[in-house]
Amino acid sequence: MNNIYIIGVGLIGGSLALDVKSNTKNISVFGIDSNPFHLEEALALKIIDATATYDDLKHADLVVLSIPVDKSVIELPKILDLISDDTLVIDVGSTKFPVCKVVENHKRRRNFLATHPIAGTEFSGPKAAIRYLFQKKTNIICEVEKTAFKLQEKALALFSDLGMRIRYMNPEAHDKHIAYVSHLSHISSFMLGKTVIEKEKNERDIFDMAGSGFESTVRLAKSSPDMWTPIFKQNKTNVIETLDEYIANLKRFKNYMEADDFEEIYNEMKNTNHIKEILKGIA
Amino acid sequence: MNNIYIIGVGLIGGSLALDVKSNTKNISVFGIDSNPFHLEEALALKIIDATATYDDLKHADLVVLSIPVDKSVIELPKILDLISDDTLVIDVGSTKFPVCKVVENHKRRRNFLATHPIAGTEFSGPKAAIRYLFQKKTNIICEVEKTAFKLQEKALALFSDLGMRIRYMNPEAHDKHIAYVSHLSHISSFMLGKTVIEKEKNERDIFDMAGSGFESTVRLAKSSPDMWTPIFKQNKTNVIETLDEYIANLKRFKNYMEADDFEEIYNEMKNTNHIKEILKGIA
């Protein structure tokens, strides 16, 4: 691969560009972004070698689509129209059903691979891009059978160079499970932050009382609303299901407290403690 | 201070012992614990120099009471009965009103200082004890005026050696605000862990999909139920208030989603993003 086009030079696209530039000889990385300031930053940070436009995509060996998921479903068909027969296009969005659906009948469907690298931080934009972001992280690939075999191979080599492990899943299952292990965490964190800020807005000193536990639990409330609003919109049904269950569990906990049933409060926590073992596999 | 007695040689008592031993010459640290295995561990880890019993407390310069808060309110009056006139007794519990209340009329009230070091990890027991746990952390002191002046000085010197900054607060205010910035985080984390485990219990592979965001948000769900059940019990009224507000915020978020009002979903997140600035002060 000689010519890589990153569409959306933010945390994910930018980090991928940094690793690929470092891993590969004779490579040129081009950036396309609706935000001209991000392109300037990405150039200054040497994340990209030059800016480009959609007209240049015919020269691409690889196109990485790393923009908010509502934009992806609009841009992906246009991108597939413009590439060459040998170009691999991957997206990296946090929902997979809508993006797979929108190109299911596209004549260049076999040039596209739907992926979700489970990697990131709570920061965004080119300045958030870092080396080794994908090292030892999981990459979920959907509908692999719909991608041309030689382009699958190209993609797997890329992910291997980035240090990722691969899991295959269908888009519906991806969107359902990711609602639990990722989307719900973000909402619980945003609403925790909101609850505390609302209560303590006139007493900023109170945050002196907050420790690393609070910091850890509200970390995701720093995340970008531009990125997350379309994810919640696209995965609405699954996310509402997780919220219903989460709210029901919180209510049950509150009811035990109101009933002074602290034996059940103890059990609720004890039974959840084995999250320790479950999390051991996560970096 | 030559003789220090740690009652409860776990994460907090043990970490304090490690720092004090390292900071101070000619010091002997004694451990008292209802769990004989913890005493053995604490000896093996050189957290304590020897074990002791309540009968020895008359020799203490400092007694650190670091046991679950339901036990503290039972043990503290007994301990004050046994010490000498020059002994400083501090507790380190996460609720402050009950422990202050139980000794308000004790003849040795002036030997006691109520403190809450905002420091810890999700682990517990002597093995969880670490050096420098208290460095740059906040220590909240309640009812300082009720402690003898020279014992206040002794305590402040100790906390200064540990690297802590001090905040003074009355017990009612402490318990109300700490419910928001600490206790609620633990419940949100435990219930998030529960929701995901319940859903995915037959599909353990799903946790391969979980990333560092999920890990961060459920970290506190590893915490000890033995420590947290009595905290929730003692701070029941305040904690229920925080739960009511948290559940109401989650429901409002869900309602916006059901109504397809993603402009409000965006605003909910955007308005909470300034948690970034608030958290900058937290280590």
CATH number where A98 lies: 3.40.50.720
- Both A160 and A24 in a single domain? yes
Q: State the virtual CA torsion across A138, A144, A150, A154 in degrees, nearest 10.
A: -20
Measure the CA–CA gap between B102 and B105, rounded to whole angstroms: 8
Task: Return the SS3 of A169.
Answer: strand
Q: Give the length of chain B.
A: 283
Cβ contacts (< 8 Å) between A203 and chain B: which residues?
Answer: 177
Q: Identify the CA nearest to A2 among candidates A46, A49, A51.
A: A49
Task: Give the per-residue pLDDT at B280.
Answer: 75
Partners of residue B120 in chain A, C-beta under 8 Å: 211-213
pLDDT tens track for B189-202? 999 999 999 988 76
In this predicted model, what pLDDT tens digit does every residue of A130-189 receive, in sequence order? 999 999 999 999 999 999 999 999 999 999 999 999 999 999 999 999 999 999 999 999
In A24-162, beta strands by DSSP E: 28-32, 50-51, 62-65, 88-91, 112-117, 138-142
Which of A8-17, A207-216, B8-17, B158-167 shows the lowest mean pLDDT across its residues? Answer: A207-216
**Which residues in chain B are contacts of A195 at CB distance < 8 A?**
180, 184, 242, 245-246, 249
Q: Is B180 near chain A, with CB under 8 Å? A: yes
pLDDT > 90: what percent of chain B? 88
Q: Tell me what pLDDT residue A278 has.
A: 80
Q: What is the model's pLDDT at position B27?
A: 95
Report how far residue A87's alpha carbon sits from residue A4's, in angstroms, rounded to the nearest whole number.
10
CATH number at residue A215: 1.10.3660.10
> Where a domain ends, among B148, B169, B190?
B169
Q: Could you give the number of structural domains in chain A? A: 2
Nearest to A188 among B188, B239, B270 (CB): B188
| Residue B283 confidence (pLDDT) | 46
β-pair type (A62-65, A3-7) = parallel
pLDDT beyond 90 at B203: no
Contacts of residue A232 in chain B, CB cutoff 8 Å?
257, 262, 265
B28 - beta bridge partners?
A: B3
Residues A104 and A198 grouped into a single domain: no
- C-beta separation of B232 from A254 below 8 A: no
Domain boundary among A169, A203, A219: A169
Q: What are phi and psi of A185, to 5 degrees?
A: -55, -40
Whether the CB-CB separation of A282 and B210 falls below 8 Å is answered with yes
Q: Domain range spanning residue A206?
A: 174-279
- Edge to edge, what strands does the sheet with A88-91 contain? A50-51, A28-32, A3-7, A62-65, A88-91, A112-117, A138-142, A165-169
**pLDDT of amino acid A281:** 61
Burial (Cβ within 10 Å: 0-12, 13-18, ≥19) of residue B219: buried
The minimum CA-CA distance between B55 and chain A, rounded to whole Å, is: 33
pLDDT tens sequence across A188-204: 999 999 999 998 876 66
d(CA B218, CA B192): 7
* Same-domain pairing of B152 and B187: no
Q: Find the angle CA(B199)-CA(B205)-CA(B210) to the nearest 5 degrees.
A: 75
Asked whether the beta carbons of residue B180 and residue A196 sit closer than 8 angstroms, the reply is: yes
C-alpha closest to that of B195 among A58, A207, A90, A251:
A251
Q: Mind giving me the DSSP string for B9-77?
A: -SHHHHHHHHHHHHH-SS-EEEEE-S-HHHHHHHHHTTS-SEE--GGGGGG-SEEEE-S-HHHHHHHHH
**Same domain for A126 and A237?**
no
Asked if B268's CB is within 8 angstroms of A222's CB, the reply is no
Q: Is the predicted pLDDT of residue B279 greater than 90, yes or no? A: no
Kindly report the pTM of this predicted structure.
0.93
Do B39 and B159 fall within a single domain? Answer: yes
Q: Under DSSP, is residue A190 helix (H, G, I), strand (E, B) or coil?
A: helix
Percentage, residues of chain B above pLDDT 70: 98
Same domain as A206, residue A162: no
- Examine the domain organization and report whether A229 and A187 are in the same domain: yes
Last residue of a domain, one of A169, A202, A223: A169
**Angstrom distance (rounded) from CA A92 to CA A72:** 9
On whether the CB atoms of residues B88 and B111 are closer than 8 A, the answer is yes
- Which residue out of A192, A198, A251 would a mutagenesis test of the B interface target, given it has the greatest number of B Cβ atoms within 10 Å? A192
When pLDDT is cut at 50, 70 and 90, the band that residue B163 belongs to is very high
Tell me the pLDDT tens digit for each residue of B133-156.
Answer: 999 999 999 999 999 999 999 999
A163 three-state secondary structure: coil
Same domain, yes or no: A50 and A7: yes
* DSSP code of residue A74: H
Say whether both B161 and B237 belong to one domain: no
Res B187 pLDDT > 50: yes
- Taking alpha carbons only, the member of B22, B28, B32 closest to residue B2 is B28
* CB-based contact, A246 to chain B, within 8 Å: yes
| Same-domain pairing of B163 and B178 | no
CA geometry: angle B239, B242, B248, nearest 5 deg: 140
DSSP classification of residue A232: H
Can you tell me the distance from the alpha carbon of B34 to that of B39, in angstroms, rounded to the nearest whole number?
9
B203 inside 8 A of chain A by CB = yes
DSSP codes joined into one string, B96-153: -HHHHHHTTT-TTGGGEEEEEE----S--SGGG--TTTTTT-EEEEE-GGGS-HHHHH
Among A37, A65, A118, A94, CA closest to A229: A94
A133 and A156 fall within a common domain: yes
Both structure tokens of B133? 């746990």
Per the CB < 8 A criterion, the answer to whether B99 and B76 are in contact is yes
Q: For residue A245, list its beta bridge partners.
A: none
Quick: pLDDT tens for B61-79: 999 999 999 999 999 999 9
Per-residue pLDDT of chain A (283 residues; tens, 9 = 90+): 899 999 999 999 999 999 999 998 899 999 999 999 999 999 999 999 999 999 999 999 999 999 999 999 999 999 999 999 999 999 999 999 999 999 999 999 999 999 999 998 888 999 999 999 999 999 999 999 999 999 999 999 999 999 999 999 999 999 999 999 999 999 999 999 999 999 887 666 777 888 888 999 999 999 999 999 999 999 999 999 999 999 999 999 999 999 999 999 999 999 999 888 887 765 4
Count of residues making up chain A? 283
Angle between helices B184-200 and A262-272 (to 10 degrees): 60
> Are residue B40 and residue B104 in the same domain, yes or no?
yes
pLDDT of B274? 87
Question: Cβ separation of A197 and B262 shorter than 8 Å?
Answer: no
Query: For residue B281, is pLDDT > 70?
Result: no
- What is d(CA A158, CA A140) in angstroms, rounded to the nearest whole number? 14
pLDDT band at B208 (very low <50, low <70, confident <90, very high): confident
